[in-house]
Amino acid sequence: MEPLTAAGLAIATVITTKAIEKTGEKVGETLWNQTGKFLVTLTKHSLYTVVALEKAPSQPLDYRKALSEVELAAAKHPEVNQAMQELAAAAKDDAKVNQAMQEWADIIVREALKSQSSTNQIFEKIINYAHGDVNIQNQTNNI
């Protein structure tokens, strides 16, 4: 999976996992563990981003900045890239995360539309993925 796609999906997964947990539901153990691993790994290299992700969605998140920071950390640090890829893969397999992504896709769209076009494109792909309309792995070359 392309790093930008994986970064966008990882950000969406962290926020979605938190939102699901707030409702009292549980996500799958694998996804929960991968989310924690990703956040711990990212904390070592981009604490600001982790703090912003942990506050979302209750506080507005600058998706463009978060995406840039995660992508930069993944490019510089192989362990961040690995954790990000593993989280993105786990998210693709979790039905609750996909359902929750559908429920808050409009929020992402509004925020992404305020950003540059490449960020818009990646979040549109995430939203389409959440709706089951796009195979992300086959669409990343269009970004």
Kindly state whether residue 143 falls inside one of the protein's structural domains: no
- Encode pLDDT of 10-54 as tens digits: 888 888 787 777 777 778 888 889 999 999 999 999 999 999 888
Kindly state whether residue 123 falls inside one of the protein's structural domains: yes
Distance separating alpha carbons of residues 117 and 123, to the nearest angstrom? 10
Kindly state whether residue 28 falls inside one of the protein's structural domains: yes
Kindly state whether residue 139 falls inside one of the protein's structural domains: no
Kindly state whether residue 100 falls inside one of the protein's structural domains: yes
Q: How confident is the model at residue 116 (pLDDT cuts 50, 70, 90)?
A: low
Which has the closest alpha carbon to 129: 137, 141, 120, 117? 137
Kindly state whether residue 140 falls inside one of the protein's structural domains: no
pLDDT-above-70 percentage for the chain: 66
**Cα distance between the two ends of the chain:** 12
> What angle (nearest 5°) sits at the alpha carbon of residue 113, between those of residues 93 and 9?
20
Kindly state whether residue 77 falls inside one of the protein's structural domains: yes
Range of the domain at 67: 3-134
Residue with tokens 């938190």: 18
The number of distinct structural domains making up the chain is 1
For residue 70, what pLDDT is reported? 92
